[in-house]
Amino acid sequence: MIVVMKKDATPDQISHAVERVEALGLKSHVIEGTERTVIAAIGDKREEMKEALESGAGVSEVVPILAPYKVASREVKPEPTMVTAGSLQVGAGMLGVIAGPCSVESEEQIVRTAHAVKAAGATALRGGAFKPRTSPYSFQGMKEEGLKLMALAREETGLALVTEVMSTDDVDLVSDYADVLQVGARNMQNYRLLEAVGKSHRAVLLKRGASATMDELLLAAEYILNEGNPNVMLCERGIRTFEGHTRFTLPLASVPYLHQKTHLPVVIDPSHGTGHTYLVPDMAAAAVAAGADGLILEVHPDPETALSDGYQSLNFEQFAATMEKCRKVAEAVGLQIHAAEAVAAGR
Amino acid sequence: MIVVMKKDATPDQISHAVERVEALGLKSHVIEGTERTVIAAIGDKREEMKEALESGAGVSEVVPILAPYKVASREVKPEPTMVTAGSLQVGAGMLGVIAGPCSVESEEQIVRTAHAVKAAGATALRGGAFKPRTSPYSFQGMKEEGLKLMALAREETGLALVTEVMSTDDVDLVSDYADVLQVGARNMQNYRLLEAVGKSHRAVLLKRGASATMDELLLAAEYILNEGNPNVMLCERGIRTFEGHTRFTLPLASVPYLHQKTHLPVVIDPSHGTGHTYLVPDMAAAAVAAGADGLILEVHPDPETALSDGYQSLNFEQFAATMEKCRKVAEAVGLQIHAAEAVAAGR
Amino acid sequence: MIVVMKKDATPDQISHAVERVEALGLKSHVIEGTERTVIAAIGDKREEMKEALESGAGVSEVVPILAPYKVASREVKPEPTMVTAGSLQVGAGMLGVIAGPCSVESEEQIVRTAHAVKAAGATALRGGAFKPRTSPYSFQGMKEEGLKLMALAREETGLALVTEVMSTDDVDLVSDYADVLQVGARNMQNYRLLEAVGKSHRAVLLKRGASATMDELLLAAEYILNEGNPNVMLCERGIRTFEGHTRFTLPLASVPYLHQKTHLPVVIDPSHGTGHTYLVPDMAAAAVAAGADGLILEVHPDPETALSDGYQSLNFEQFAATMEKCRKVAEAVGLQIHAAEAVAAGR
Amino acid sequence: MIVVMKKDATPDQISHAVERVEALGLKSHVIEGTERTVIAAIGDKREEMKEALESGAGVSEVVPILAPYKVASREVKPEPTMVTAGSLQVGAGMLGVIAGPCSVESEEQIVRTAHAVKAAGATALRGGAFKPRTSPYSFQGMKEEGLKLMALAREETGLALVTEVMSTDDVDLVSDYADVLQVGARNMQNYRLLEAVGKSHRAVLLKRGASATMDELLLAAEYILNEGNPNVMLCERGIRTFEGHTRFTLPLASVPYLHQKTHLPVVIDPSHGTGHTYLVPDMAAAAVAAGADGLILEVHPDPETALSDGYQSLNFEQFAATMEKCRKVAEAVGLQIHAAEAVAAGR
C-alpha cells in the first residue's frame, strides 16, 4: 500500500502515519518526493488497512498495490480452471453453451426447447423456476414445479441443468435438481447466498452485478471459493451505463481482462447483455472471438408468447443459426465447441 | 401503452399486433401517422404486457404510459407519509436524523456515540451488527452481540435503533432489537428479503441500489408495501457513475423527484454518497435544502481507528457542526428538526 | 509516481523499469514488498511520463501522485479567486446569479427577462445567440443579431452579459458584446477554443463536459489560465449517467470537492443539471447550501413557447420564488447574495 | 409524437395541449385511457416540438416516435454505404484496417510503421499531427511537419492517410494532405467543425463522444451529411462508464445496432476502447465477429518510447498476429479483408 500525504502535511502528521502503518503490522518506508511525501507500507494483507489509513490527518490518499482477492487470482493458480457439471464443460479451451427459456412455463415448452437447443449444439439447459422480478406484480416462476419439469427435460436429453437460486432458503431444494446454481446479477453481493452456494456441492454460475467492478465480482467469487467450492464460472451479462438503446452495455473486454486476472472461466450472456433479439447473434459471435469460455442464451419456442424476456429470446431457428456462426468463429480462434446433432432429431 | 410499429411494418403485422393487444385484454386504438403506425393499448395493467408486445414482428418499440408501481405512488395516496419508529420521525415536514458508527465495535464506542449524537440533535442511532462486506476477509460485524450493545445504548439514551438486516434468516432476530430494519443497497433487489421485512412489524429503511433506477427503487418499496408494511423510508445513498473522486455520485434531485412520484419519505446518506469525511457536512446541508425528510450519517468517536468506513465518518465535533449547519438550513426551507440538547450532557 | 511491477516481474524487467525512470530525469527508489516490487519515481513533472512507463515489460500499473494541473491548483494559490465582470461577482463568499433565456428570441423577450431577473436579484443576464444544437434541424440562434439585443438589455438594466462562444472564429465578435464568454459542455475539450478564450480579455464560464472527470475539467481550465486569463469560473451542469428521469445527474459534491482542489469559483446550473422546471428550485437551494459561488438559471417569460429548453426554464414568478428560497439558504450558510430590488420595477 | 398528460390533468389542460399540437402544424388525436389521456401528434417533423410541448401545463411527458436523424437513416437509404478513400474501402462487406501510431514523431517512425502495417494487411495509415491532449503540458503533435511526413509514407506505401482535424482553421490544411479527416471524440459535438468537414471533399471518420448516445452520434453525422458530404464513417471508440480497469468501455453491440439504424459503415477502435495493449487483439477479433466494417488500431515501432498512447499501442509483431486472427474471424463471418503481403517486405 502506498500512503500519499498531502502537500502541506506536517512532520508530525507524517510520523503519525508511519506509526499507524506500523501499528497495523506493516513495515513502513518513507519516500520524500520533490513535492510530497509518500509512505510505502510493506506486507499488506487486509483491505481494512486501506480504510484505516485513509482517515489519518494529513493523508491525501491510500493506493493499494495488491489485488484484494486471493483464491480467485491467476497469480495463485496460473492454469485455467475447467468447470464440469454433467454434460457441461466450461473453460480451459472448452466452450460451453447454455441455452433455454428465461422461465420454465410448461412441460411441453421446456422439453421441446431442450431437444431443440441440444440438436443445435447446446451443452446445458437453462430455465428459471425461481424468478427475481423487478415488479411484485410480474410472474414469479413455477418454483419447485418448474424444477421438476427441468429434471424431466434432462432425463430426455441428458443436458445439464442451470437454474437460479434466489435465497439461502432454497439452496438445498434447488441443489436437488440443478447441476449448476446460478446466482443472479441482483444477488451478486448477497453474501449469505454466496456463502450458502459455496457450501453446496454444485457448480456455480455467478453473474456480475449491473454496477459491480471487476474487483467486486472477483471478491464475490472469493466468498464462494472461500467456502470450499472451486467450481465457479463468472458471467458477464452487461453493466448499467447511460446507453438506453440496449438494455445493458455488454463489455466484452471483460473476457481478456478476467483471463489475465483469474483462472476461473468466463461465460457471456448476450441476451441480457443487449436486451434485443436482433443483437444477440452478432454479440454471441463476438463473445466467442473475444475468447469467452461459455455462452448463456435465452431460447424460447415462441418468444412472442413468453411469460418473460421474450424481446431478447431467440427462437429455435435463430438459435441454430447463431450456433452455426459461433462454431465457425470458435474454430477461427481455436476454441473447442460441441458439434450440432442432426437437426431433425431435436425438433 | 403505445406500440410503435416499424416504418415498413406490413398491414398483416399491424393486424397481428392489434390482435395481440386485444388478446391481453386491452382495448386497441390504431393511429396512422405520416411515417409510421402506432397502436394505443388502453387499460394496461401489467408490466409483462410490454415485454410480450415488444417481441412481435414489425414492432419497433413499446412505450409504457403508466408507472409500474401502485401503492407507493403519489397518485394513489397524495398526502406525504410520516414514518415513526420510537424517537424517530421522518417525513411530512419532520426531518429525522439517524447517526452512529458504521459498525458496532464495543459497548464504550456505541454508548458514547449514542450520547454524543443525541446531544447534537440526532433522533435515532445507526450501527451495523451484520455487515455486508465486499471482501470475505473484512470484518463482518459483531452479529447478535452488536445488537445487544445497541439495545444498551437505546436504554441509556432513548434513541431508536436503525440497523441492517442482510438475510431472511436474520429478520426475526434483528426485529427483536431494532426499531428500523435497514435493507442495504446491495440487497435492494433481494426480493425474498424485501418480502420478509414486509411481513415484519418494523419500519424499513430501503437503500437505493448503486445502479437502480427510480422505478426499480419504487418497485422494491412496492414489494415491502405489498406485504402490508406501510412504514417504508427510501434512502438515496449515491449511484455508481464514471466519477472516481467520490465513492459514489449523490444525486440530490432524487429528493424533489421522489416527492413528486411517491408519498414515502426520502432520507439522504451523505456518508456513503460521497465517501469522504470532508464532503459530508456540505452535502448534508444541501440535502436538507433540497427538502430531504431525513439524514443518515456515519459518526465515530475516533474515525481513524474505526473497523470500517472511517474515511467517511464524522467525529463528534464534526457531527455537531454539521447539525448546526443543517438546523439553520432546515429553518430556511421550513423543515422541522429537533433542537440539540445541551452539548455537555452527551460527551 | 509509483511504478507497480507485476508479481512475476523478473530482475531484468525491474532494472529496465529503473533505467526508464532515470532516463526520464526522475530519481528512482526501489521498494521490495512481500509480494511485489514497486519503484517510486521522484521529481515527476509531466503527464507523458506515466504513459511512457506504463508500457514497460513487467509493469503492472503506474500511479500518479501529483495532480496534473498546476495554475488552477489550490496548492499553488490557497486563497479563493473572485471573478468580477461588470455587475457580476462570483467567488470568495459572493454568490453570483446568472439568469435568462436559453436563446435570445426577440428584443421584447430579452429585455423583459432582463428586467424581471434583475428585479428578483440576478446579477448577470444569460442568453444564447450562437446555439450548439444536437440536431442540424433545430433553431441555431440569432447569431450577432442576438448579441445586439443582449447589449440593449444590458443598457437598460446594467446587467453583465454571459453568452456562449462555439468557435474560435467567433471569439472576437462575441467578446465585443459579452462580459463573460461561456464555453459549453460539448466544447470543454475543444482545446483551440480554450486557447482562444484564454487569449481574450473576457472572463470565462467553463462548463464541465457531460463525461469529464474533475481532473479533465481542471486541465481544461488550465488551458485557459495558461494563456494568461485568470478569470475562469467552473460550472457544474450535470453528468451523464444511467439515470433517465433527469436530463443529467447533478453531483453537488463537486462544489466542496473543487473548493478543496482549486481556488477557482464554482457555479451550478440546475436547469441543465435536472432538465425539468419542477426540480430546479430545490436544486438551486441545495447548490447554495453546498457552498456554490454562483448559479446559472434558465428563465423565460413564457417557457411553453420558448424556442429551446422550455421544459427546464422557470417563468418570472418561479424565478422570483427560487431566489427568495436561495437567499434564505445563503444567509443560513453565510454566503453573500444580492438583495432583490422592488419587484414592481422589473415587470 | 405522443403527449402523455398527467393523471390529474384538467379538461382545460388537455384542450390547451391539443391546441398547442395543432399550432405546431400537427394533427392531434386524443385517446382517453383508463387512467390518463394521451394525445397522438401526427406529422411531426422537428425536434423542437418535443421541447415545446413538454413544458405545457398538465403534460407528463412527450414521447417521440420518429428518429431525429434523416439522411443517415437506413429507412431513407436501405443499402449500406461503402466509403472509399484512396487505398481504403470500408463498408458493404469490405473490412478496412487503419493502423499507425498515435502521434507522428519522426520520418523513420512513420515510414517504418507504414511499411510494417501494410505488410500485415492494413489498408490505411493513421497518425496524429494535430493532437488534442487533456493537459496543456503534454506533447501537442508535430502539426504540418507531421502531415508532410505522413505524405512521405503514403508516397512510399500507397496507403491512404487518416488524421485528425481539431479546428475549423485547419480543415483546408489537413485536407491538402489527408485522405480521411478524423473528427475526434472530444469534438463530436463541435458543430462548426462538423459543418466544415461536411463542406470539404474528404471522407470523414467521425468518432463517438465518450458519453454520446447513438442518436447524438447519428445527428452529428447528419451535420456532415447535411452539408453535402456523403462519405462518413462512424467510429465506436468506447464510452465512459464506472469501469476503471479499462480506459473506456467498448460496447460492440453498437455495430449491429448501427447497422440496423443507418447505412453508414461502422469502424471500431479497440486501442482507445480498452486502453491496454494486451486487450486489443481479442477485442479487434470480437469487433470483426460483431460485423464491424473497419478497425482502427494504434501501432508503434517501440510502444515504450512513444510520445503518446504507448500503453495501448501494438508493436509490429503484435499487429501482425492481430491481423492474422482478424482475417480468420472475418472469413468465418463472411467479411472481405485484404490479404497480408509478404511480411519480409515491410520490416
CB D126, CB D104: distance < 8 Å: no
Alpha carbon distance B180, B169 (integer Å): 17
Suggest the residue from C8, C21, C31, C246 to mutate for an interface test with chain A (most A CBs closer than 10 A). C31
Scanning every residue of chain B, which has its alpha carbon at the shortest distance from the alpha carbon of D39?
A: B40
Alpha carbon distance A56, A312 (integer Å): 50
- What's the average model confidence in pLDDT over C317-332? 98
Cell of residue D195, nine digits:
459543418
Give pLDDT tens digits for D28-62. 888 887 778 888 877 755 556 676 677 777 787 77
Confidence (pLDDT) at C49: 66
Q: Does B191 touch chain A (CB under 8 A)?
A: yes
Give pLDDT tens digits for C54-91. 777 778 777 777 778 889 999 889 999 999 999 999 99
User: What is the amino acid identity at position C141?
Assistant: G
- Residues of chain C with pLDDT > 70: what percent? 95
Confidence (pLDDT) at D340: 58
Interchain contact, B65 vs D33, CB within 8 Å: yes
| Nearest CA-CA partner of C153 in C109, C96, C202 | C109
Alpha carbon distance C60, A43 (integer Å): 18
* Helices A191-199, A214-225: inter-axial angle, 10-degree rounding: 40
Alpha carbon distance D165, B147 (integer Å): 64
Sequence-distant (6+) residues with CB within 8 A of A154 are A86, A114, A125, A160, A161, A179
Displacement of CA C277 from its chain's centroid (Å): 21
| Smallest Cα distance from A333 to chain D, Å | 7
Classified as helix, coil or strand, B134 is coil
Confidence (pLDDT) at B47: 58
DSSP string over B193-244: HHHHHHHSSSEEEEEPPTT--HHHHHHHHHHHHTTT---EEEEE--B--S--
Q: Does D63 touch chain B (CB under 8 A)?
A: yes
| Smallest Cα distance from C254 to chain A, Å | 17
| Smallest Cα distance from A192 to chain B, Å | 7
- What's the average model confidence in pLDDT over C139-143? 92
Alpha carbon distance C311, C278 (integer Å): 9
CB A96, CB A89: distance < 8 Å: yes
DSSP string over B167-204: SGGGHHHHHHH-SEEEEPGGGTT-HHHHHHHHHSSSEE
Confidence (pLDDT) at D344: 36
Query: Least CB-CB distance to B54: which of A69, A133, A311?
Result: A311
Alpha helices in chain D (DSSP H): 11-23, 47-54, 107-120, 144-157, 171-177, 191-199, 214-225, 254-261, 270-274, 280-289, 316-333, 343-346
Alpha carbon distance C267, C205 (integer Å): 8
Scanning every residue of chain C, which has its alpha carbon at the shortest distance from the alpha carbon of A60?
A: C65
- CATH 1.10.3720.10 corresponds to the domain A2-63: no
Q: Does D76 touch chain B (CB under 8 A)?
A: no
Confidence (pLDDT) at A49: 66
Give pLDDT tens digits for A130-187. 999 988 888 899 999 999 999 999 999 999 999 999 999 999 999 999 999 999 999 9
Instruction: List B293's β-bridge partners, or say none.
Output: none
Sign of the dihedral defined by the CA atoms of residues C129, C135, C139, C140, in that order: positive
Q: Does B29 touch chain D (CB under 8 A)?
A: yes
Classified as helix, coil or strand, C289 is helix
Per-residue model confidence as pLDDT tens for chain B (347 residues): 788 888 888 999 889 888 888 887 888 888 887 778 888 877 755 556 676 677 777 787 777 777 788 899 998 899 999 999 999 999 999 999 999 999 999 999 999 999 999 999 999 999 999 999 988 888 899 999 999 999 999 999 999 999 999 999 999 999 999 999 999 999 999 999 999 999 999 999 999 999 999 999 999 999 999 999 999 999 999 999 999 999 999 999 999 999 999 999 999 999 999 999 999 999 999 999 999 999 999 999 999 888 888 889 999 999 999 999 999 999 999 998 876 553 334 33
Sole residue written with cell 507504414 = D114
Alpha carbon distance D299, B231 (integer Å): 60
Alpha carbon distance D100, D128 (integer Å): 9
Alpha carbon distance A64, A164 (integer Å): 35
Set of chain A residues whose Cβ sits within 8 Å of the Cβ of C4: 65
Interchain contact, B40 vs D43, CB within 8 Å: no
Alpha carbon distance B167, A182 (integer Å): 18
Pairing relation of β-strands A266-268 and A294-298?
parallel
Set of chain C residues whose Cβ sits within 8 Å of the Cβ of B244: 213
Set of chain D residues whose Cβ sits within 8 Å of the Cβ of B32: 42
Burial class (CB in 10 A: 0-12, 13-18, 19+), A11: exposed
DSSP H/E element including B98: strand B94-100
Sole residue written with cell 431494532 = B178
Q: What is the CA radius of gyration of chain D?
A: 23
CB C161, CB C170: distance < 8 Å: no
Cell of residue D183, nine digits:
473528427
CB B121, CB B340: distance < 8 Å: yes
Segments of chain C assigned to CATH 3.20.20.70: 83-346
Q: Assign a CATH topology to domain A83-346.
A: TIM Barrel (3.20.20)
Q: What is the dihedral of CA A285, A287, A292, A294, to 10 degrees?
A: -60
For residue D105, pLDDT beyond 90: yes
Alpha carbon distance C194, D190 (integer Å): 13
* Helices C316-333, C107-120: inter-axial angle, 10-degree rounding: 30
Interchain contact, B243 vs C214, CB within 8 Å: yes
**Residue A123, CA atoms < 13 Å, CB-side half-sphere:** 20
Scanning every residue of chain C, which has its alpha carbon at the shortest distance from the alpha carbon of A1?
A: C33
Cell of residue D61, nine digits:
411527458
C-alpha distances out from residue A290 to A48, A294, B116, B314, D315, Å: 35, 11, 56, 46, 20
Segments of chain D assigned to CATH 3.30.70.1140: 2-63
